[in-house]
Amino acid sequence: MGLDTIYIQAKRWNGSVGRPEIQKFTGSLIGQGAHKGVFITTSTFTDGAKEYVNRIDRKIVLIDGEQLAEYIMDYDIGVNEYARYIIKRIDTDYFTED
């Protein structure tokens, strides 16, 4: 996203985040003179919200709950390792006769 200032809004949301919420966020960016933002929700985004982001001149990245969970696990954000499991499979070469 470059070296510009990036504004972030995060919401713990019940139901999908729609276009009106993204429009409010876009208005906040315009008010700050910013061109880039990240909107994070624990929920999902409506198709209208996604389409709106693709049409505007501001760069807004939408991160939904599923993507957020992936980032949390991939980058160990706010989590600790609890256990590891070893998965074994049969070595078929061991049982073949020459």
Q: Give the CA-trace dihedral at 35, 41, 44, 50, to 10 degrees.
A: 0
CATH topology of domain 7-95: Trna Endonuclease; Chain: A, domain 1 (3.40.1350)
Give Cα 24 distance to the centre of its chain: 19
Q: What is the pTM for the complete model shown?
A: 0.79
Enclosing H/E stretch for 59: strand 59-63
- Give per-residue pLDDT as tens, 37-77: 999 999 999 999 999 999 998 899 999 999 999 999 999 99
Q: What percent of the chain has pLDDT over 90?
A: 77
pLDDT band at 10 (very low <50, low <70, confident <90, very high): very high
Distance, in Å, from the CA atom of 46 to the CA atom of 44, rounded to the nearest integer, reads 7
Distance, in Å, from the CA atom of 50 to the CA atom of 98, rounded to the nearest integer, reads 61
**Residues present in the chain in total:** 98
